[in-house]
Amino acid sequence: MEPTKRGRVRVETTAKRVRAYVNGRPVADTIRALLVWELPYYPTYYFPADDVDMESLKASGRKEHSPSRGDGELHDVAGRPDAALVYGDDAPLEQIRGHVRLDWESMDNWFEEDEEVTVHPRDPYRRVDILASSRHVRVEVDGVTVADSRSPRILFETGLRPRYYLPKTDVRLDLLHRSDTVTHCPYKGQAEYWSVGEGEGGKDLVWSYPAPLPESQKIAGLVAFYNEKVDLYVDGVLQPR
């Protein structure tokens, strides 16, 4: 199928096998999933109704309207409210007719082939490159140098500014305080955080992926600072926030 756009929605097919699980059982299992960009940032999976366990869905009697996708019927999934959106044959976007959109957070597990995916589907147009570098990176927080390195790994991710991952031996670890914050990325994995100082402005300025996904192993155990919240110099040039 050729990529299709209607309004601000983009629709494409994918060759991946995609599965969604609830309570240890697959609600959907398909090799005919659609990638639908409801938002410009990342896609959502839509399943052909034939590849969904429709017996686990129960119509709620409510509908959800989208200017570009029309009206979808909301369904509960295994008792989870409004976890599925079912599009009939009258949907204005032809490609999603007879398809089911499962709410990502309402499912327990998502798999692309046999690899579990978190946060959201991987965007086939987003690339992550991690390159070793000898550029001089220095980080200041409130005028204090908290990192100084000449061996960064620079992470280039489509659509985002470069991130500079530094060896911990080049960072003032005595100035960092462990945070309870944890985030997840479908491309890099689970990140842990540190704050600098005690003020709110220094909260969660630093993060690291201790056990990143295989494609991001080059940044394992390195730390990065929010460019937007610190004074970050590259080869002596202050980077814009």
| pLDDT-based confidence at residue 37 (cuts at 50, 70, 90) | very high
Q: How many residues does the chain have?
A: 241
* 27, amino acid identity: V
Dihedral angle sign, alpha carbons of residues 203, 165, 180, 117 = positive
Q: Please state the rounded mean pLDDT for residues 118-130.
A: 94
Q: Please state the rounded mean pLDDT for residues 190-210.
A: 92
* 60, amino acid identity: S
What pLDDT score does 178 carry?
A: 95
User: pTM of the full predicted structure?
Assistant: 0.84
Q: Please state the rounded mean pLDDT for residues 12-41.
A: 96
What pLDDT score does 60 carry?
A: 94
Give which of 239, 218, 241, 237 is closest to 155, Cα–Cα. 218
**Residue 94 Cα distances to 70, 83, 97, 102, 169, angstroms:** 11, 22, 6, 18, 56
Task: Look at residue 36 and tell me whether its pLDDT is greater than 80.
Answer: yes
Q: Please state the rounded mean pLDDT for residues 162-189.
A: 96
> Checking phi first, is residue 117 left (phi over 0); if not, alpha (psi -120 to 50) or beta?
beta
